[in-house]
């Protein structure tokens, strides 16, 4: 029996990570938990983020997952050390891609759009300190963006107005790289491209997380046979409409589940 990869996020945003994993590993079964009832995690206290991360992990383990991707920057920065210390499966975390931005910037100014929970975390600050020496990192909380994406308003005028408010101050400081520090935000890339200069580089963590997932599966001899015909199960504890609009196709099942 092929064991699935487990993925969880505070809502539907982590499907941007799932998409990269499915593209790189099309033969792997996946189970995705969208904890939309508690989204966004970024505004919650650390103790609550930890409790929710434990709840999601234990549900994925009940469903026989062999590896868990914490597809949420806030949950990674606040809970992954505890999860790794207390459960026997490998965990893949997500953190804002400060390192590639620092290597890429020419103006030595990098913008980070993320949630409060990520920007205030110890892991974010240690990563910035390690990789961004001599570089100005302009931090911006994306308050309200997760809720708009969860409501299916990714391309709305309301979202555009809020994004412009958050991006303009960073653009005025001449950033040339924008790091998306929340897995919901890649769904805003088409809108962001309309609001920033054409030369600005937008960086998210999706591809790197998929590559790391592949490497960890192979290292631990957990990879599925490449001939496996994959199935992908998505569980959400809210209305299924927004999630169903993002993921559909053969072998994909979306279901409402109280968790």
Dihedral angle at the C-alpha atoms of 208, 209, 213, 214, nearest 10 degrees?
-30
Please tell me the distance from the alpha carbon of residue 86 to that of residue 243, in angstroms, as a whole number: 30
Please tell me the distance from the alpha carbon of residue 6 to that of residue 18, in angstroms, as a whole number: 10
Nearest to 203 by CA among 111, 71, 106, 109: 111
Q: Which residues have a catalytic role annotated?
A: 72, 182
Please tell me the distance from the alpha carbon of residue 183 to that of residue 204, in angstroms, as a whole number: 8
215-250 burial, b at 16+ Cβ within 10 Å, e below that, comes to ebbeeeeebbeeeeebebbbbbbbebebbeebbeee
């Amino acid at each position: 029996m092929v064991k699935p990869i487990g993925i969880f996020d505070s809502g539907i945003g982590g499907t941007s990570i799932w998409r990269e994993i499915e593209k790189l590993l099309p033969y792997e079964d996946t189970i995705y938990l969208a904890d939309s009832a508690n989204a966004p995690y970024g505004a919650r206290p650390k103790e609550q983020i930890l409790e929710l991360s434990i709840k999601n992990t234990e549900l994925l383990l009940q469903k026989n997952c062999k590896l868990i991707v914490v597809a949420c920057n806030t949950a990674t920065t606040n809970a992954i050390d505890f999860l790794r210390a207390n459960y026997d499966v490998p965990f893949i975390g997500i953190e804002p891609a400060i390192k590639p931005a620092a290597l890429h910037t020419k103006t030595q100014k990098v913008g980070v759009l993320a949630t409060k929970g990520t920007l205030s975390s110890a892991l974010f600050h240690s990563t910035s300190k390690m990789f961004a020496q001599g570089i100005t990192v302009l931090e911006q909380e994306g308050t309200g963006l997760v809720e708009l994406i969860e409501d299916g308003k990714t391309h709305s005028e309301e979202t555009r107005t809020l994004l412009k408010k958050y991006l303009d101050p960073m653009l005025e400081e001449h950033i040339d790289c924008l790091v998306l520090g929340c897995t919901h935000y890649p769904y805003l890339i088409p809108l962001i491209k309309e609001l920033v200069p054409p030369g600005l580089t937008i960086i998210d963590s999706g591809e790197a997380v998929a590559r790391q997932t592949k490497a960890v599966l192979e290292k631990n001899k957990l990879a599925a046979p490449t001939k496996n015909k994959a199935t992908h199960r998505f569980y959400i504890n809210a209305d299924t409409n927004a999630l169903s609009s993002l993921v559909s196709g053969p072998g994909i099942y979306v279901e409402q589940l109280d968790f």
